[in-house]
Amino acid sequence: MSLWVLVTLAAAAMQTLRFMLQKRLKGVGLSTGGATFSRFLFAAPLAAVAAAALLRTTGIEVPVLTPRFWVFALLGGAGQVAATFLTVALFSLRNFAVGVAFTKTETVQVAVFSALLLGEVVSMAGWIAIATGFVGVVLLSRGPGGAGMFGRASVYGVLAGGLFGLSAIGYRGATLELLPLDALSRAIVTLAIVSAAQTVGMALWLRLREPGELGRVLVAWRRTVWVGVTGVLGSAGWFTAFALQNAAYVRAVGQVEIVFTLIVSALVFKERLTAREGVGIALVVASLILIVLVGG
C-alpha cells in the first residue's frame, strides 16, 4: 500500500479522536469558539518545535517563502478554522457520527477546487469513486425522524465541507511551493507556519467577540491540551499526505474517518445508527477502496 494512503489513514484516525475530545469540551463550559481555539492553541508551539528540530537535525535550509506560498498557506489556515468552527457547532445539532458525515461533501468540492486552482485533474475512475462516497454521505446526511436535507445542520455541513476542501487545496499548494524539499520537511514547515497564523488569528477573534473565553480555555488546559496534541498529530499526517498526492485523492481516502466515527459514536457516546446510515457507511467504504485502487 502506498505511503500516502497509510499516512492518510493515520491522520483520519487521529482527527476522529480530536473531534471526540472537542465534543466533550462543550461539556466543560467552553463556547464553540473556545472549543475550536483549543484545537490550535497548543498545536502551534508543538508544530514550531517539530519544525525547528527537523531542520536542525537534517541541516535543511528552507527555501524563500514566496507570495504564492503565503496565499495558499493563509487560505488553507483560514478555511480550516472556519470549517472546524462549523463542525463543532454541528455537534449540538446532530448525533456525532452523522454530524461528521455532513462535512464529507468536501470530497466532491475539493476535486473541483483541485482542478480549478492547482490544475490537478481527477480521472474518470476517480470521479466514480468520489461519487460513490458522496451518495453514501447523502444517506448519512438525512435527518432522523424524517428531517429534511436542507435544515441548519445540512447548511453547516456543506459549508464546512467546502471550507475543508479549500483548506486542503491551500495546504497542497503551499507544500508544492516548498519543492524540492522532501515531503516530510515541506509538511512540517508548512504546518508550523499555518498553526502560528491560526493561533494568532483566533486569539484576536475571541478577544474581540468573546471576552473571557481565552481565560476559560487556559483554565481548562488539562482537557484542552489533548485536543491540541491530537490536532497537531493529525495535521502532520494530512500535510504529509498532501505533499505526496493530489488533495482530492487524499480527502477521498480520508472518508474512512466515517467508519472510525461510527466506532466512537457507538462505544463512547452510546449513539445508535439506522439501517440507512449503515448503507451510507458501506458506500463510503466502497469509495475508499476504489480511490485507493485509482490513486495508489
Amino acid type, 171: Y
| Number of compact structural domains in the chain | 1
Q: Pick the residue with more confidence: 296 or 152? A: 152
Tell me how crowded residue 54 is: count the other CB atoms within 10 A of its CB.
16
Share of the chain above pLDDT 90, in %: 26
Alpha-carbon span 104 to 148, nearest angstrom? 18
**Mean pLDDT along residues 160-180:** 92
User: What tens digit of pLDDT does each residue of 61-96 get?
Assistant: 877 899 999 999 999 999 988 887 887 777 666 555
Q: Evaluate the CA torsion angle 114, 120, 123, 126 in order and state its sign.
A: negative
Closest alpha carbon to 276 in 129, 143, 161: 143
Q: Which residue has the cell 439501517?
A: 275
Residue 150's pLDDT is 53
Is the predicted pLDDT of residue 138 greater than 80, yes or no?
Answer: no
User: What tens digit of pLDDT does each residue of 3-30 get?
Assistant: 888 999 999 888 888 877 766 665 667 7
Spatial contact of 31 and 220, defined as CB atoms under 8 Å apart: no
Residue 237's pLDDT is 93
Question: How crowded is the C-beta side of 154, counted as CA atoms within 13 Å?
Answer: 13
Q: At what angle do helices 257-267 and 275-295 cross, to 10 degrees?
A: 150
pTM, two decimals, is 0.82
- Owning domain of residue 159: 3-295
Alpha-carbon span 136 to 255, nearest angstrom? 10
Residue 259's pLDDT is 73
CB contact set of 158 (below 8 Å; sequence gap of 6+):
102, 105
**Mean pLDDT along residues 261-275:** 71
What average pLDDT does the chain have? 82
